[in-house]
Amino acid sequence: MRVTADQGYVFLTMICTGIVLGVLFDVFRGIRALVGAGRWVTLIMDLLYWLVAAVFAWLVLLEVTLGELRFFSIAGIALGMVWYFALFSPAVVGAAQRLRGLRKHGKRDKQSMILRGLWRVVTHPFERIRDHFWGW
Protein backbone atom coordinates (compact mmCIF):
# COMPACT_ATOMS: atom_id res chain seq x y z
CA MET A 1 0.00 0.00 0.00
CA ARG A 2 1.38 3.38 -1.01
CA VAL A 3 1.21 6.44 1.17
CA THR A 4 -0.79 9.40 -0.10
CA ALA A 5 2.32 11.42 -0.97
CA ASP A 6 3.52 8.61 -3.24
CA GLN A 7 0.14 8.49 -4.96
CA GLY A 8 0.31 12.24 -5.60
CA TYR A 9 3.76 11.86 -7.13
CA VAL A 10 2.53 9.01 -9.33
CA PHE A 11 -0.53 11.02 -10.41
CA LEU A 12 1.55 14.09 -11.33
CA THR A 13 4.04 11.90 -13.19
CA MET A 14 1.21 10.33 -15.15
CA ILE A 15 -0.19 13.78 -16.02
CA CYS A 16 3.26 14.68 -17.41
CA THR A 17 3.29 11.37 -19.29
CA GLY A 18 -0.06 12.26 -20.86
CA ILE A 19 1.30 15.64 -21.93
CA VAL A 20 4.34 13.98 -23.51
CA LEU A 21 2.04 11.55 -25.34
CA GLY A 22 0.03 14.52 -26.65
CA VAL A 23 3.19 16.20 -27.92
CA LEU A 24 4.23 12.93 -29.53
CA PHE A 25 0.84 12.70 -31.23
CA ASP A 26 1.26 16.21 -32.67
CA VAL A 27 4.75 15.27 -33.90
CA PHE A 28 3.32 12.24 -35.70
CA ARG A 29 0.49 14.39 -37.06
CA GLY A 30 3.03 16.91 -38.38
CA ILE A 31 5.12 14.22 -40.04
CA ARG A 32 2.00 12.79 -41.64
CA ALA A 33 1.06 16.23 -42.95
CA LEU A 34 4.55 16.82 -44.39
CA VAL A 35 4.62 13.45 -46.11
CA GLY A 36 1.14 13.94 -47.57
CA ALA A 37 -0.05 10.70 -46.09
CA GLY A 38 -2.42 8.41 -47.88
CA ARG A 39 -4.46 5.67 -46.28
CA TRP A 40 -1.56 3.22 -45.86
CA VAL A 41 0.90 5.77 -44.51
CA THR A 42 -1.74 6.94 -42.04
CA LEU A 43 -2.33 3.36 -40.91
CA ILE A 44 1.39 2.71 -40.43
CA MET A 45 1.92 6.03 -38.63
CA ASP A 46 -1.03 5.36 -36.31
CA LEU A 47 0.25 1.88 -35.46
CA LEU A 48 3.74 3.27 -34.89
CA TYR A 49 2.37 6.02 -32.61
CA TRP A 50 0.42 3.55 -30.50
CA LEU A 51 3.39 1.23 -30.26
CA VAL A 52 5.72 4.04 -29.15
CA ALA A 53 3.07 5.50 -26.80
CA ALA A 54 2.33 2.13 -25.18
CA VAL A 55 6.01 1.32 -24.65
CA PHE A 56 6.69 4.80 -23.26
CA ALA A 57 3.72 4.68 -20.86
CA TRP A 58 4.68 1.16 -19.77
CA LEU A 59 8.30 2.20 -19.10
CA VAL A 60 7.13 5.21 -17.06
CA LEU A 61 4.75 2.99 -15.07
CA LEU A 62 7.51 0.46 -14.54
CA GLU A 63 9.91 3.14 -13.29
CA VAL A 64 7.47 5.07 -11.09
CA THR A 65 5.20 2.35 -9.70
CA LEU A 66 7.24 -0.80 -10.33
CA GLY A 67 4.61 -1.86 -12.86
CA GLU A 68 1.61 -1.39 -10.56
CA LEU A 69 -1.32 -0.18 -12.66
CA ARG A 70 -3.90 1.80 -10.70
CA PHE A 71 -6.95 3.80 -11.76
CA PHE A 72 -5.36 7.14 -10.87
CA SER A 73 -2.41 6.28 -13.13
CA ILE A 74 -4.69 5.87 -16.13
CA ALA A 75 -6.72 8.93 -15.09
CA GLY A 76 -3.50 10.98 -14.85
CA ILE A 77 -2.42 10.02 -18.37
CA ALA A 78 -5.90 10.85 -19.71
CA LEU A 79 -5.98 14.19 -17.86
CA GLY A 80 -2.52 15.13 -19.17
CA MET A 81 -3.58 14.40 -22.74
CA VAL A 82 -6.84 16.34 -22.34
CA TRP A 83 -4.96 19.32 -20.90
CA TYR A 84 -2.41 19.24 -23.71
CA PHE A 85 -5.03 18.99 -26.46
CA ALA A 86 -7.23 21.68 -24.86
CA LEU A 87 -4.52 24.19 -23.99
CA PHE A 88 -1.43 23.69 -26.13
CA SER A 89 -2.19 21.62 -29.22
CA PRO A 90 -4.18 24.28 -31.13
CA ALA A 91 -1.34 26.77 -30.76
CA VAL A 92 1.35 24.21 -31.62
CA VAL A 93 -0.53 22.99 -34.71
CA GLY A 94 -1.19 26.58 -35.82
CA ALA A 95 2.47 27.51 -35.37
CA ALA A 96 3.56 24.44 -37.32
CA GLN A 97 1.22 25.32 -40.18
CA ARG A 98 2.57 28.87 -40.26
CA LEU A 99 6.14 27.59 -40.24
CA ARG A 100 5.31 25.31 -43.17
CA GLY A 101 4.11 28.34 -45.10
CA LEU A 102 7.34 30.28 -44.49
CA ARG A 103 8.88 29.17 -47.77
CA LYS A 104 6.69 31.71 -49.60
CA HIS A 105 7.81 34.78 -47.66
CA GLY A 106 10.92 36.96 -47.44
CA LYS A 107 13.47 36.85 -44.61
CA ARG A 108 11.97 39.75 -42.64
CA ASP A 109 8.49 38.29 -42.90
CA LYS A 110 9.80 34.89 -41.78
CA GLN A 111 11.37 36.34 -38.63
CA SER A 112 8.19 38.19 -37.80
CA MET A 113 6.04 35.11 -38.39
CA ILE A 114 8.32 32.95 -36.22
CA LEU A 115 8.16 35.43 -33.35
CA ARG A 116 4.37 35.72 -33.64
CA GLY A 117 4.07 31.94 -33.73
CA LEU A 118 6.24 31.50 -30.65
CA TRP A 119 4.31 34.22 -28.84
CA ARG A 120 1.06 32.47 -29.75
CA VAL A 121 2.30 29.11 -28.44
CA VAL A 122 3.27 30.72 -25.13
CA THR A 123 0.13 32.84 -24.64
CA HIS A 124 -2.55 30.52 -26.05
CA PRO A 125 -2.99 28.37 -22.91
CA PHE A 126 -3.46 31.46 -20.76
CA GLU A 127 -6.01 32.85 -23.20
CA ARG A 128 -7.94 29.56 -23.08
CA ILE A 129 -7.93 29.60 -19.28
CA ARG A 130 -9.04 33.25 -19.24
CA ASP A 131 -11.85 32.54 -21.72
CA HIS A 132 -12.97 29.52 -19.74
CA PHE A 133 -13.20 31.28 -16.39
CA TRP A 134 -14.10 34.83 -17.37
CA GLY A 135 -15.69 34.36 -20.78
CA TRP A 136 -13.88 37.27 -22.46
pLDDT at 7: 85
Which tops the pLDDT comparison, 129 or 55? Answer: 55
Question: How far, in whole angstroms, is CA 114 from its chain's centroid?
Answer: 20
* Nearest-angstrom CA–CA distance, 45 and 70: 29
38: left (phi over 0), alpha (psi -120 to 50) or beta: beta
Percent with pLDDT over 70 in the chain: 80
Instruction: With cut-offs at 50, 70 and 90, classify the pLDDT of residue 1.
Output: very low
Share of the chain above pLDDT 90, in %: 33
- Output Rg (C-alpha) for the chain, integer angstroms: 18
pTM of the predicted structure, to 2 decimals: 0.69
The confidence score (pLDDT) of residue 18 equals: 96
| pLDDT per position as a tens digit, 59-96 | 999 999 888 888 989 999 999 999 999 888 888 777 77
